[in-house]
Amino acid sequence: MTLWQLFTIVGIVCLILEMVLPSMFFLNLAAAGFVTAIIAVYLHNWIYLTLIFVGLAIISILFLRPILLRHKTTKAEETGMEGKYIGKIVKVKEPVSKFAGAISIYDERWEARCENDETINEGEEVRIIKYDSLVLTVERI
């Protein structure tokens, strides 16, 4: 087995680990492995290649990983429940209190609760502020 094949295998294994354990850590190691594999086609000293791999991995983890994590968080916010429901103004279908109630949004009935001890009457408008499983938390406007 040649060195470029070894580093290619390292890159593939790291990609598989990233798919199984999505942490944006193994993706950096995979990138370092693939770049090192390309360099290994021209450079045949395993000590230099190992140093190159370690250097690329450290640089990638220090500089690329924070960018990837920020992008991952932003994507989750755009496509998650926050983008569709949080901040929306809706009407109360059943009086909402700390323990019971319902609202309607997008022609769907959702369980709703208030954070404080007040009761919001049917027909009033409220703003959705957070969600927990299938229960939305609302506040009076």
Q: For the CA atoms of 63, 65, 69, 72, what is the dihedral angle to 10 degrees? A: 110
Q: Residue 73: its pLDDT value, please? A: 55
Q: Cα torsion at 130, 136, 139, 141 (round to 10°)?
A: 100
Architecture, CATH, for domain 83-140 = Beta Barrel (2.40)
What is the pLDDT, as a whole number, of residue 72?
A: 66
At 134 the pLDDT is 83
Residues of the chain with CATH 2.40.50.140: 83-140
pLDDT in the model for residue 76: 45
* The pLDDT value given to residue 82: 53
**Residue closest to 24 by CA, chosen among 63, 51, 52:** 63
The low-confidence residues of the chain, meaning pLDDT below 50, are 75-76, 79
pTM of the model: 0.53
The pLDDT, as a whole number, for residue 79 is 45
What number of other Cβ atoms are within 10 A of residue 41's Cβ? Answer: 11
What pLDDT is recorded for position 77?
53
